Amino acid sequence: MMPPKRWLLILLPILAFLALYLFYSNRALNTLRVHIGKPYGEVVRDSTFSVKANTVISPSEPPHPGSTWITTPVVIQYDDPNYGFVLPATIFGAISYDDGKVSNITTSPMVEMLSFSELVPLLEEIQSRLKRSGWTPQHPNKLTWLITTTAQQKTALQDKLFKQVAIVLLGIPQKYTLAINIKCFKRCNERNPATAKYLIDISMGRNYFRE
C-alpha cells in the first residue's frame, strides 16, 4: 500500500492544476456589456465578447448594425449606471439595434435546460439580482415576482408550468421593460417532475408605459 505522504505528493500537483484551470476558465469567460439605448460602438468598446465578429451588418448606405448573436458562453452585463445587473452565463442571446443603438435584448441566462429542482434556485437568484438593482413589477397585481419559498409554492409553480408559460413583467418607468418567461421545454407531456426540463428566457426593451 502506498504511504500517505506519497499520495499527498501525487495529489497536490493535480489539485493545484485544477485550481488554476478553474481560476483561468472563469476569468476567460467573455462579457457583453450592454443596455437599451447604448450605441453599437460603445458595446464593441466595452465588451470582451467579440461583438463585431458576431454582428450582422445591414447592407444599407451607410451600413449599420442589425443584430448581434450569442452562440458561445458569455456573461451579459446590463451596464446602466443606476439599474445595472449581471445575468448568469448564457450560450444564447440576440441584441437588436435601431439607428445604431441597442433596441432589444433577448437571452436565456443558462447554458443548458434544467430540471425543476435546478430551475428554482436559478430563478430565485435572477429575481434577487433584479430586485437589488431597483426593478419592480410593471403591474403590482399581475405578472409579478414568482415566490418559491415553500414546498406548496414550488408545487404550484411546477403544476402551472406543465400547462402554460409563467411570466414576470418588470419595468423601470419611462425607461426599460424586462420580461422573464419560465417554461417547460422538454418531456412536458409526461408531467413527470423527474424528467421534465425547463428554460428561462429574458427579453428587454424600451418602457412606453406610464405610471
Q: Which of 31, 178, 42 is nearest to 100 (CA)?
A: 42
Look up residue 57 and give its three cell numbers: 451588418
Asked whether the beta carbons of 168 and 137 are under 8 A apart, the reply is yes
| pTM > 0.85 | no
Tens digits of per-residue pLDDT, 149-206? 999 999 999 999 999 999 999 999 889 999 999 999 999 988 988 899 999 999 999 9
Look up residue 27 and give its three cell numbers: 476569468
Tens digits of per-residue pLDDT, 22-49? 444 445 689 999 999 999 999 999 999 9
